Chain A
Amino acid sequence: MLSPEERQEIEFELARYPTKRAVCIDALKIVQRHRGWVSDEGLRDIAALLDMSVDELDGVATFYNLIFRQPVGKHVVMVCDSVSCWLTGYERVREELTKRLGVKLGETTADGRFTLLPIVCLGACDRAPVMMVDGDLHPNLDAQKIEGILEKYR
C-alpha cells in the first residue's frame, strides 16, 4: 500500500501532465525516496494508481539508472567512471573505495551502511575525479580524502 504521503506527492505531480502514465518516473522516484528502493509490491501499487500494467512499469523502472529495483544500503556511493574522471584518477579512487568498503561495484556492505555503484559523468569534469553520496557531490577526490568522506556518513 502506498502511504498517504507517497500518494499525495504522486497526485501533486499528476496535475502537471496530461496523462497518468507520464507521472510514472516521478512516482517511482517518490516511492524510492521514502523506502530506499522500489520493491515488487511498490511497483504493483504505483501501476494500479496510474492505470499501467506492472510489466510496463517494470520496463520503465529497469531502464533508468537511478531507480533501484533491489534494496540498497543506508547510503549510496556513486563513483563517476566516465572519461574526465578516468583521465584524472578514477581507478585509484575506485580501488580505495572497494578496499575501504570491502565490496565490489554493485554491492552493499555487510552492515548495510553503503552501496557502491558506478555512475556516468556527473557533469563536474573541471573538478574530477568526483563521486556522489546520497546526492552530495564530492569533487577533486584522491585516495586520501575517501576515508574522511565516508566517515561523515554513519
Chain B
Amino acid sequence: MEKVLTKNIEPDMAFRDLKTYEGVGGYQAAREALRLAPTEITEMVKKANLRGRGGAGFPTGLKWSFVPMGSDAPRPKYLVANADEMEPGTFKDRLLMEGDPHQLIEGMIVAAYAIQADVAYIFLRGEYKLSANRLERALAEAYDHHYLGKKILDSDYNLEMYLHTSAGRYMCGDETGLLNALEGKRANPRSKPPFPQTSGLWGKPTIVQNVETLCNVHHIVEHGPEWFRSLSYTEDGGTKLYGVSGKVTHPGLWELPMGTTAREILEDHAGGMRDGLTFRGLLPGGASTDFMVEEHLDLRMDFHEPQKAGSRLGTGTMIVLDDQSCPVGMARNLEHFFAQESCGWCTPCWSGLSWAERILGAMEEGRGEPEDLEHLAFLCNLCAPGHTFCALAPGAVEPLQSALKYFREDFERHIRDKRCPWR
C-alpha cells in the first residue's frame, strides 16, 4: 500500500535537510502549483475529498473557498498551521514535523498560494522542542533558497513564514482560541460568525489547518485528485496516520489507507493486547471521542463509519482500555484534563467539567452515591453541543457519556461496594 506522508521519513528520524528533500523531488510540486491559478488548486483539493485531520474533519477545499479572493479582498491574508498537538493520546503531527519538516513547509506554500495569503505562521506547542529546532532549520534553508520571501520559486508570489512556539494550553488547539493566542491574548474562543476565513487574525481572512492536512496539499497538486481519492478505501480521500497507545503489544503510528478498520489497526499493526490482558474499549481519535467497543471494531476508520458507533475519527490516534485498568479511573483522568484545560470562558464548561471530575474522584475513592450516575448524565447534557462557545466541553463529555453507556456496571459497582475494584 502506498505511503505518501511518511514515505521519506527515516527510521532513525534523522533531520532531512533541504538537499535530501530536493533529492526526492521536493519543492517541484510547489513550483508547479505556483503556475496554476489559485482557485484551480482549491478546486483540486475539493475534488480530492481532503478533510481536516485535526479532529473536526471539515472539508479542506470548501473551507478555502470561503476566503475572499481578488484585488479588493482584505489584506494581509493569513495561513496558520495548527501544530498545537495537545489532544491526549495524539502523537502524529510530531512525526511529520520531526521526520520531514520541509514537507509541511511545501504543503503550506501551496495552501497559502491557493488563498493568496501574505503571511503564514506555524503555531507549535511549546513542549515540541525537537520539532521547533527542525522547523527553524528548515525555514532558514527555505528562505536561503528563495522558497520563502519575495517572488518565491520563480513566481511573482510573496510569502513570509514564521514559527510561533506556544506556552502551553489545550485551548490553543481550538481554531479561534489559537488566533487569540497568536495575537498575544488568553486563548479564549471567539464567537462565530464571523468565521476566521473572512475575519480571523487581526480581523483579516485566515485559514487555520492541521499539520497532517497541510502535508497532503502539494501531493494532491502533483498527482491529481483522482490519485488521492484512490489511496483511500472509502469516499474520504487519502491516507491517514493512525496511532495506538495503551497496553497493546506494539504501540505506534502507521500511515494506512483512509478507512482502514479499527480491528486491522489494533490487531495487525499494534499486535493486539499485551499478554494476559483483554480488550474492553477504545477512544478512536484522542481523548475527546466516544468509546467504541468490540462490536464496533470492524468499522472503517474514516469520517463516516465511526458515527455508526456514536463516535468519530477525531485525530485517528486511538487509546485502548484493557480489563486491568478501571474505566471510572480512566474517565476521571480524562475529565481532570478537560476541567483543568477549560479556559473558564463559559459556565457549562468550567463548572460542569470540574463537577464531573469531582464526582468521578469521589467514586474512585469509595464515596460514590447512587444519584451520581444521574448527575453525570445531567452534566453530559449540560456540556452538549450548542451549550458552549467552543468544542472543548462537548468533546470532554464524549468519553464520559459513552463510558456510562458501555461500562455502566463498573460505575454501579464502585457506588455499591464503596471502593474501586481495581485498587
Contact = CB atoms under 8 A, between A and B. Distances in A.
Interface string B302-345: 00000000000000010111100100011001101100110100
B205 to A, nearest CB: 14
A83 B89 contact: yes
- From A24, A66, A88, A120, name the one whose CB has the most chain B CB atoms within 10 angstroms: A120
A83 B338 CA distance: 11
B245 A84 contact: yes
A64 B167 contact: yes
A135 interface: yes
Contact of B127 (A16, A22, A123): A123
B251 A120 contact: no
Nearest to B270: A126
A137 B94 CA distance: 13
Looking at chain B's contact residues, the main secondary structure is mixed
A4 to B, nearest CB: 23
A59 B181 CA distance: 12
Contacts of A127: 251
Interface in B71-91: 76, 85-91
Given A87-B247, A125-B251, A126-B251, A82 B88 contact: yes
A52 to B, nearest CB: 8
A64 B91 CA distance: 21
Nearest to B94: A123
A31 to B, nearest CB: 12
Contact of A65 (B162, B169, B183): B169
Given A25-B184, A83-B319, A123-B94, A66 B88 contact: no
B287 A82 contact: yes
A24 B164 CA distance: 12
A146 interface: no
Contacts of A28: 167
Interface residues of A, number: 42
Contact of A123 (B90, B185, B329, B330): B90
B91 A24 contact: no
A126 B243 contact: yes
Most buried by B among A66, A82, A127: A82
B126 A87 contact: no
Contacts of B330: 83, 86-87
A149 B175 CA distance: 37
Contacts of A29: 126, 165, 167
Given A83-B333, A83-B337, A87-B325, A66 B168 contact: yes
A10 interface: no
Contacts of B93: 123
Nearest to B244: A126
Contacts of B252: 126
B183 to A, nearest CB: 5
Contacts of A120: 86, 88, 168, 170, 337, 340-341
Nearest to A56: B185
17 contacts: A16-B160, A17-B184, A63-B186, A63-B187, A64-B166, A67-B167, A78-B127, A81-B337, A82-B333, A86-B329, A120-B88, A121-B287, A123-B93, A125-B91, A126-B244, A128-B245, A135-B129
Given A19-B183, A66-B166, A126-B251, 20 more contacts: A21-B183, A22-B183, A28-B167, A29-B165, A29-B167, A60-B186, A63-B343, A82-B89, A82-B287, A83-B337, A86-B329, A87-B325, A119-B168, A122-B127, A123-B127, A124-B94, A125-B88, A125-B89, A125-B317, A135-B127
